[in-house]
Amino acid sequence: MRQPVVRLVWLHRVPYAEVLALQDRWLRRLQAEPGTEAGALLLCEPAGPVYTAGLRGGLTPEEAARLRALGAEVRTTGRGGLATFHGPGQLLCHPVLDLRPLGLRLRAHVAALEACAVRLCELQGLPGACARPPPYTGVWLGERKESAVEGTLRPTAWR
């Protein structure tokens, strides 16, 4: 049996709004053509500083206004977590995947992303990077979070 296709899409340096729009297009494509491919990994570097506020909030209106006054974009997202900074020089990977054809459950997928980020830290000469046990996500060096893992779970998206 052939493995489902996951496409790697390198976007270079792009505005955050373009990445969000592309995520939505890939999601609609997967919904319209179920089973033809498992999805895409969208890789990019943010064109400018962006703070995202997740489902649990993370930024007060005053903090958001201060960040905007400094020239940062502030977006509310449907993702988990609190506030996350995305900026030039960072590599962002936005998976848009149907995990079922890949035989993955959500927690296993998150653990695989964390393991990949730990390995990348090691390759960059940052020993000691590790993932923390749930409910935490991401990769940590001591008390400093080095990598965020955010997700949007759309359980009804595949019906």
The edge-to-edge listing of strands for the beta sheet with 50-53 is 73-76, 50-53, 83-86
* Predicted pLDDT at 52: 87
The edge-to-edge listing of strands for the beta sheet with 144-147 is 130-131, 139-141, 144-147
* Predicted pLDDT at 150: 63
Amino acid in the structure at residue 141: L
Q: What residues pair up with 148 in beta bridges, in sequence order?
A: none
Contact yes or no for 26/50 (Cβ under 8 A): no
Q: Which residues in the chain show pLDDT less than 70?
A: 1-2, 80, 150-159
* Predicted pLDDT at 73: 92
Report the predicted TM-score, pTM, of the whole model to 2 decimal places: 0.74
Amino acid in the structure at residue 13: R
